[in-house]
């Protein structure tokens, strides 16, 4: 999975008549991903990804996401570009869902990132933050601190099914994080907010592009860095690899220098980033019906990451060397 919405051939053909991409050569569902339905479409005038936006994507946010891809591409970032139909519109409807075609990016994602991959990621993340400057649309981060308590409430009383200590651990962490986040004053702009290894493509050791901007929003740049420390620098046993952390942080710093307050905030931001993914995974875990054709992601992986961050005195725990 993920193909939540099956597209019958006649509906596809009718949809594509609006475009100038030639005839369909092949069309197949893509198994990876958990949020949206994605299809690989080969046409005589190119290769594309067709996305049908599913439950967690709010229709009103789509102009932000598609406009952002255009803005980032225009500012030198390699990411998918929305393909407009002959009437100039990229955002359309297919099988009752909002849908768009975007350009296909070459490359493969890495399952086990090395320190070199982490360095390349750090550079690309800083470039993304710079390339997003001047983008006129705004989208608050619905999955930041104000969104965590409601998710915790939605899971409260049911999370014992995952681990007995979860409710208490989440409540205690939110008691710490809510005032700690309120006290932060950090540079903000457009962030990706979900830049996990599966959303970053490489050709050899070279980073070739970034995808999946459907959580992008306005938030602190350093929060995006914290999300990446969590997603890229832990080993399979959930131990933190400081060599990878150092590679990520120093490459980011070389492309967009951190302010001292961003470095000071990293332990708090890393805890926030850990609780965000712990909570979304937990709610999905509890709400996904048994037998659903979707890969459930382990919330406890993020509880272990959170435990590490709770013991981090400062950013040196992540490999930061001033």
Ligand X SMILES: N[C@@H](CCO)C(=O)O
Closest listed residue to residue 270, CA positions, set 235, 300, 307, 297: 307
Pick from 4, 64, 214, 258: which binds ligand ATP (CB under 6 A)? Answer: 214
Nearest approach, Cβ of residue 157 and ligand ATP (Å): 27
Whether 249 and 320 have beta carbons less than 8 Å apart is answered as: yes
Whether 47 and 53 have beta carbons less than 8 Å apart is answered as: no
Residues 268-297 that bind ligand X (CB under 6 A): 277, 280-281, 297
Cα 232 to Cα 245: distance, rounded to the nearest angstrom: 8
CB-count burial class (<10 Å; 0-12, 13-18, 19+) for 196: middle
* Maximum C-alpha span of the chain: 59
Residue nearest to ligand X (CB): 196
Torsion sign (Cα): 9, 12, 17, 23: negative
- Return the number of the residue (32 or 146) whose C-beta is nearest ligand ATP: 32
297 contacts which partner out of ligand X, ligand ATP, none, CB within 5 to 8 A by kind? Answer: ligand X
- Return the number of the residue (145 or 263) whose C-beta is nearest ligand X: 145
Cα 245 to Cα 93: distance, rounded to the nearest angstrom: 42
- Return the number of the residue (272 or 315) whose C-beta is nearest ligand X: 272
Structure tokens, 228 = 């990446």
Nearest approach, Cβ of residue 295 and ligand X (Å): 10
Assign residue 248 a region: left if phi > 0, alpha if psi is -120 to 50, beta otherwise? alpha
- Return the number of the residue (33 or 319) whose C-beta is nearest ligand ATP: 33
49 contacts which partner out of ligand X, ligand ATP, none, CB within 5 to 8 A by kind? Answer: ligand ATP
Residues 171-210 that bind ligand ATP (CB under 6 A): 198-199
Residues 87-126 that bind ligand ATP (CB under 6 A): 102, 104-105
277 contacts which partner out of ligand ATP, ligand X, none, CB within 5 to 8 A by kind? Answer: ligand X
Residues 49-88 that bind ligand ATP (CB under 6 A): 49, 80
Q: Which residues contact 63 (CB under 8 A, 6 or more apart)?
A: 91, 137
Q: Which residues contact 21 (CB under 8 A, 6 or more apart)?
A: 43, 44, 45, 46, 48, 83, 101
Residues 161-220 that bind ligand X (CB under 6 A): 194, 196
Tokens 């929305």 -> residue: 82
Number of residues that bind ligand ATP (CB under 6 A): 18
Which pairing describes strands 46-52 and 37-43: parallel, antiparallel, or unpaired? antiparallel
- Return the number of the residue (16 or 272) whose C-beta is nearest ligand X: 272
Nearest approach, Cβ of residue 175 and ligand ATP (Å): 29
**Is there binding between residue 35 and ligand X (CB under 6 A)?**
yes
Pick from 12, 18, 24, 30: which binds ligand ATP (CB under 6 A)? Answer: 30
Binding site for ligand X (CB under 6 A): 34-35, 194, 196, 277, 280-281, 297
């Amino acid at each position: 999975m993920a193909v939540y919405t099956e597209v019958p051939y006649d509906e596809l053909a009718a949809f594509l008549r609006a475009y100038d991409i030639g005839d369909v050569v092949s069309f197949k569902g893509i198994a990876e991903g958990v949020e949206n339905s994605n299809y690989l479409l080969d046409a005589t005038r190119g290769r594309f990804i067709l996305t049908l936006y599913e439950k967690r994507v709010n229709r009103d946010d789509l102009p932000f996401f598609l406009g952002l891809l255009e803005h980032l591409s225009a500012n030198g970032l390699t990411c998918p570009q929305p393909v407009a139909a002959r009437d100039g519109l990229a955002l359309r409807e297919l099988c009752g869902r909002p849908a768009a075609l975007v350009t296909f990016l070459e490359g493969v994602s890495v399952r086990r990132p090395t320190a070199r991959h982490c360095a390349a990621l750090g550079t690309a993340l800083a470039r993304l933050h710079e390339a997003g400057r001047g983008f006129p649309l705004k989208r608050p981060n619905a999955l930041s601190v104000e969104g965590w308590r409601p998710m915790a409430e939605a899971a409260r009383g049911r999370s014992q099914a995952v681990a007995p200590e979860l409710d208490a651990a989440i409540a205690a962490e939110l008691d710490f994080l809510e005032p700690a986040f309120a006290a932060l004053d950090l540079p903000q702009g457009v962030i990706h907010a979900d830049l996990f290894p599966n959303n970053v493509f490489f050709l050899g050791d070279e980073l070739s592009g970034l995808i999946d901007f459907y959580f992008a929003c306005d938030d602190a740049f350093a929060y995006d860095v914290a999300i990446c420390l969590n997603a890229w620098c832990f080993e399979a046993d959930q131990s933190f690899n400081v060599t990878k952390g150092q590679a990520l942080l120093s490459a980011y710093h070389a492309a967009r220098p951190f302010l001292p307050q961003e470095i000071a905030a990293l332990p708090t931001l890393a805890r926030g980033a850990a609780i965000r993914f712990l909570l979304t995974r937990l709610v999905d875990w509890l709400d996904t019906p048994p037998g659903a054709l979707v890969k459930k992601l382990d919330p406890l992986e993020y509880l272990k990451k959170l435990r590490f961050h709770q013991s981090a005195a400062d950013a040196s725990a992540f490999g930061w060397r001033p």
